[in-house]
């Protein structure tokens, strides 16, 4: 089973830059998209069902902000975008799908770059999200979490860790939560195959950082321990352009 995840930084913009062509070339079983920045009245029929895929949307109230969509070749058993939490349900950040073998979360985690209040919100989001995944996991199925986590976990996950030691997205409290997620029995799948620095998923557009590979790895596929033995490949696709992020992929047996 092949899954892709991509923060597109605007679905309407990426649609004109080869989005459907990428979908046709990769033909994943599931494509999870973050930061769609789109509202219901802006969706076209093709956006709802490209190449016959099913789609499930979480759209924020604020125009041009946030939003996620999960495209699936086969309809999931269930899908949800609300979880009874004001923190998780706000801003259009999560699409949950129950697949036959596992629970899948497509998530655009909050950014902490707007001060202490926003950092506190991000940490609450992290904590409530972990409680949600653990509750589902206790029902007997494994969990896959993918998307833009908006945090680089370790020093090898960004090009300039010393210069960014106090920068949002690499602050100790944010990094500690990723460590806690892993301690709860979730695996950073990319690190199963690659322990080297220099592999990133986001680059600052303003400084043309991508050409110099001065980036951050903030997009992830995590799987719970129940699924770890099924992981066959976890890749970053830096050659795919069109956004300030690149896609990532996961292949499960």
Q: If you count them, how many residues does the chain have?
A: 253
Task: Look at the alpha carbons of 242, 199, 107, 206 in this order and tell me if their dihedral is positive or negative.
Answer: negative
Residue 241: count of CB within 10 angstroms of its CB: 10
Element (H, E) at 180: helix 172-183
* Structure tokens given for 1: 């089973």
State residue 243 phi and psi, 5-degree precision: -140, 170
**Whole-angstrom Cα distance, residue 25 to residue 2?**
13
| Catalytic residue selected from 29, 41, 127, 148 | 148
Catalytic status, residue 41 = no
Q: Which of 69, 77, 150 is nearest to 111 (CA)?
A: 150
Give the integer Cα–Cα distance in Å for 121 and 123.
Answer: 5
Enzyme catalytic residues: 148
């Amino acid at each position: 089973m092949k899954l892709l995840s991509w923060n597109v930084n605007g679905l309407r913009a990426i649609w004109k830059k080869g989005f459907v062509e990428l979908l046709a070339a990769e033909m994943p079983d599931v494509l999870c998209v973050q930061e769609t920045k789109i509202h219901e009245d802006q969706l076209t029929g093709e956006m709802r069902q490209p190449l016959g895929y099913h789609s499930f949307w979480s759209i924020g109230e604020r125009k041009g902000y946030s939003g996620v969509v999960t495209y699936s070749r086969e309809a999931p058993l269930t899908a949800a975008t609300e979880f009874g939490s004001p923190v998780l349900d706000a801003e259009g950040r999560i699409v949950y799908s129950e697949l036959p073998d596992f629970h899948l979360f497509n998530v655009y985690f909050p950014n902490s770059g707007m001060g202490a209040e926003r950092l506190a919100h991000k940490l609450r989001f992290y904590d409530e999200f972990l409680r949600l995944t653990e509750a589902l996991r206790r029902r007997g199925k494994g969990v896959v979490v993918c998307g833009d986590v908006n945090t680089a976990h370790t020093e090898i996950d960004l090009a300039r860790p010393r210069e960014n030691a106090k920068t949002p997205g690499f602050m100790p409290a944010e990094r500690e939560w990723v460590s806690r997620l892993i301690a709860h029995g979730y695996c950073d799948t990319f690190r199963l195959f690659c322990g080297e620095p220099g592999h990133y998923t986001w680059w600052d557009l303003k400084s043309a950082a991508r050409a110099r590979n001065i980036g951050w790895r903030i997009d992830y596929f995590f799987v719970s321990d129940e699924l770890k033995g099924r992981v066959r490949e976890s890749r970053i696709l830096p050659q795919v352009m069109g956004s300030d992020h690149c896609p990532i992929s996961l292949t499960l047996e």
